[in-house]
Amino acid sequence: MPRITSLEELHKLRAELRGEVMQRYEVGTTLVVGMGTCGIAAGARETLRTLSEELARRGIEAHLTITGCIGQCAYEPLVTVHRADAPPVMYGHVTADKVPELVEKHLVQGQVIQEWVVETS
Partner 1 sequence: MTTKPRATVLLCSSTGCLASGSAGVREAMSAELQRRKLEDEVQMVIGGCRGFCTMGPVMDIYPGGIFYVRVQPADVSEIVEETLIKGRVVERLCYKDPVTGETIPIFEKIPFYAKQERLILRNCGRINPNRIEEYIAFGGYEALAHALLAMTPEEIIRDVKASGLRGRGGAGFPTGRKWEATRMAEGDIKYVVVNGDEGDPGAFMDRSIMEADPHSVLEGLTIGAYAVGAHQGYIYVRDEYPLAVRNLQIAIDQAREYGLLGENILDSGFDFDVQIMRGAGAFVCGESSALMQSLEGKVGEPRPKHIHATERGLWDRPTCLNNVKTWATIPHIINNGPEWFRRMGTEGSPGTMVFSLVGKVNNTGLVEVPMGISLHDLIYDIGGGIPKGKKFKAVQTGGPSGGCLPAELLHLPVDFDRLTEAGSMMGSGGMIVMDEDTCMVDVARYFLDFLKEESCGKCVACREGIKRMLEILTKITEGQGTMADIERLETLAWTVQQASLCQLGKTAPNPVLSTLRYFHDEYVAHVVDKKCPGGVCRALITYSIDPEKCTGCMVCARKCPQTAISGERRQPHVINPELCIRCGVCRDLCRFDAVVVE
| Contact positions vs partner 1 (CB under 8 A) | 1-7, 10, 13-14, 17-18, 20-30, 32, 61-65, 67, 70, 80, 82-88, 90, 120-121
Rounded least distance, CB 58 to partner 1, Å: 14
Does residue 100 have a cis peptide bond before it, meaning omega lies within 30 degrees of 0? no
**Closer residue to partner 1 (CB): 27 or 41:** 27
**Closer residue to partner 1 (CB): 41 or 86:** 86
According to DSSP, residue 6 is labeled S
39 and 78 Cβ atoms separated by less than 8 Å: yes
Q: Work out the number of other CB atoms within 10 angstroms of the CB of residue 96.
A: 18
**Closer residue to partner 1 (CB): 28 or 49:** 28
Residues 89, 101: Cα–Cα separation, whole Å: 15
